[in-house]
Chains A and B, each alone.
Chain A
Amino acid sequence: MGTYALPDASGHYGPYGGRFVAETLIPALEELEHAYQEAQRDPEFRAELHSELRQFVGRPNPLYHAERVSKELGGAQIYLKREDLNHTGAHKINNAVGQALLARRMGKKRVIAETGAGQHGVATATVATRYGMECLVYMGEEDIQRQSSNVFRMRLLGARVTAVSSGTRTLKDALNEAMRDWVTNVESTFYVIGTVAGPHPYPVMVRDFHRVIGDEARVQCLELTGRLPDCLIACVGGGSNAIGLFYPFIEDKAVRMIGVEAGGLGLSTGQHAAPLTTGRPGVLHGNRTYLMEDEDGQILPTHSISAGLDYPGVGPEHAYLKDSGRAEYVAATDAEALAAFHRLCRTEGIIPALETAHALAHAFRLAPTMRSDQTIIVNLSGRGDKDIHTVAALEGIHL
């Protein structure tokens, strides 16, 4: 890559990022940073990660030409980067494998994680079992309700799931609780953060573990179409699947990058989870970034049909990419995401996660405005099996 070299040595992306945590955790973050830098330089670690991604995760996954839906829309060709075909059904496993290998290398026997939709919790439970580590997952009470099948999966995999009843009882509160656990058990425990947020070095480390998405997509797109894509689209909760796709294309200035936040019931209702589109910079969960907050700096409750996007903050690199204009951020509402969910089911025979459906919704809006020789890559971040109860309930069907 060319000139883009963020974060800086102290973990800042311009004014964003950094390390805003209780003093007790600072030495642990420094230890993690050093261990990560060392691991990155170690060919053995890189080889092991590569092998795990092939043998256990099932990479590379396809870049699939969604011909029927592209034709139906009558514009750009839509390609889907099939992260849903990874083991455990979402992109989250790329990062979970990376962090778990690092935890093992650091001699940590216990891993903890926060989860919203449960995909990151399932991924962490999976790798913890695989590497013989104890696993505890924090999950908001509300999310436990709406993602019950993932809760059961985590338990099947031998993890303990702890319900978080503080605050808004969703992802942000699960993150608070995981941080409290980490502060308490910092010597024995590795905190596997599930997105590109948190204190340095998490945002850069998680990005690096997910860049395989964009690296593969770049090669596959050149193979399939003979040129780079015109546009990349991904949903943004904390922003990990989006940065994983975007990062390898940052220097390719002609490639548009669009992140799609959860528009909930509509941006004007305040019932959404779109900090980049509507929020302002502040400090939460260890980094400075765009937040949904009131005028007094209190974090606002969020709403999204998808638990994985129901988060009031976003990774600091996205805040930087927004300000610099390199990436654009838009929102798709619950209703638009649902319509896109159904459309993909019916046209391509793929049931996407509701998180992913937000990215699809925007792709379906944009494609008809583009020429048929142009291409859009959508990060199909996860499969929708976990969401069928939610979708059925909306149709008055109790499964």
Chain B
Amino acid sequence: MSRLAGLFAQLQNAGRAALIPFMTAGDPSLAATVPLMHALVAAGADAIELGMPFSDPMADGPSIQRASERALARGVKLRMVLEWVREFRMTNSHTPIILMGYLNPVEAMGITPFAEAAATAGVDGVILVDLTPEEGRGEAVALQQRGIDPIFLLAPTSGQERVVIVRSMGSGFVYYVSLRGITGAAQADWAAVLQRVQDLRQQLGLPVAIGFGIRDAATVAQVAGGADAVVVGSALVDQLAECATDQEAVATAIRFIKPLAQAVRTAERRSA
């Protein structure tokens, strides 16, 4: 069983959602990346989304845009991101790692070399924000052949035919974007989101993660009961951006993640 499938099976038994923090690889420093990943796990993260920086992050708000710019300015390359995952895997073999980014850097490496290198490094899933299932058939197959889940997104605007395509091509889980907008924006109507996620979980037969607009423990508590996973990105990236040293970043990550981890563990479970 893949790490992601194993995680969701285990949490199904435990009756709770996964907490998946997002951090940009190489921010707030190159050296902090792997220690931060371990810190997230130590604080209670169930999986990690690791951002692959791109020069033109069209779907991201200012927090993640700036984090990508800073990381690129420090010289982060896709190969370094994979190397960090490999390093992380030397002492952690159970926490799923999902790479999140845009297609072009992956295409520049070549999807087959990328999929092979990612599998060797210990990557479990890949989200490419600008790659829809229609355009991404070849990529999805290349990843799946090497045991990596291609994770697709659905949005409030997605109609039923989109759900069918994603169900036929995605694996691991499906990422539900809670709002019309970019990362870091605010979502007001969580009741509507939870209703949609409820429907999607039944239609997809795959775990559904909710992301975008989740910034604090109160919101995590509010949505965790109705989803299989909760993703927190910009809020963490903002906290880390303030840190002057790597030690401070690690301490900040732990302090920030702990209450969120607590929230997924105590959230009231809605029917799956």
Interface residues of A (CB under 8 A from B): 10, 18-28, 166-167, 172-173, 176, 179-180, 183-187, 282-286, 291, 293, 295-299
Contacts and interface: CB of A to CB of B under 8 A. Distances in A.
A28 B157 contact: yes
Contacts of B104: 282-284, 291, 293, 297-299
B29 interface: no
A298 B106 CA distance: 10
A176 B166 CA distance: 25
Contact of A166 (B65, B130, B134, B157): B65
26 contacts: A20-B103, A22-B153, A23-B152, A23-B155, A23-B157, A24-B158, A26-B158, A27-B157, A28-B157, A166-B65, A167-B69, A179-B59, A180-B182, A183-B181, A184-B185, A282-B107, A283-B103, A285-B56, A285-B58, A291-B104, A293-B104, A293-B108, A296-B109, A298-B54, A298-B105, A299-B55
Contact of A20 (B130, B153, B154, B159): B130
Which 10 pairs, one residue from A and one from B, show the smallest C-beta to C-beta distance? Answer: A297-B108, A297-B105, A24-B155, A184-B181, A22-B59, A23-B153, A298-B55, A297-B104, A299-B55, A27-B157
Interface of B: 54-62, 65-66, 69, 72, 77-78, 102-109, 129-132, 134-135, 152-159, 162, 177, 180-182, 185
A37 B128 CA distance: 30
A299 B182 CA distance: 21
A298 B72 contact: yes
Interface-centre pick from B60, B131, B134, B155 (highest chain A CB count, 10 A): B155
Contacts of B135: 18-20
Nearest to B75: A296
A296 B105 CA distance: 6
Given A24-B155, A296-B105, A297-B104, A19 B59 contact: no
Contacts of B132: 19-21, 23, 26
A21 B72 CA distance: 22
A288 B56 CA distance: 14
Given A183-B182, A297-B106, A23 B61 contact: no
Contacts of B102: 283
Contact of B162 (A27, A166, A186): A27
Given A19-B134, A20-B135, A26-B162, A183 B59 contact: yes
Contacts, number: 116
Contacts of B182: 180, 183-184
B234 to A, nearest CB: 13
Given A24-B180, A184-B182, A299-B56, A282 B154 contact: no
Contacts of B157: 23-28, 186
A285 B59 CA distance: 11
A27 B152 CA distance: 15
A297 B69 CA distance: 14
Given A176-B57, A297-B54, 12 more contacts: A19-B135, A22-B58, A25-B157, A167-B69, A173-B56, A176-B56, A179-B59, A180-B181, A282-B107, A283-B103, A283-B130, A285-B56
A143 B129 CA distance: 28
Contact of A284 (B56, B69, B155): B56
A181 B108 CA distance: 28
Contacts of A286: 130
Contacts of A25: 157
B209 to A, nearest CB: 14
Interface-centre pick from B132, B154, B177 (highest chain A CB count, 10 A): B132
Contacts of A24: 155-158, 177, 180-181
A296 B78 contact: yes
Contacts of A19: 132, 134-135
A284 B56 CA distance: 8
A183 B178 CA distance: 12
B204 to A, nearest CB: 14
A167 B154 contact: no
A26 B154 CA distance: 10
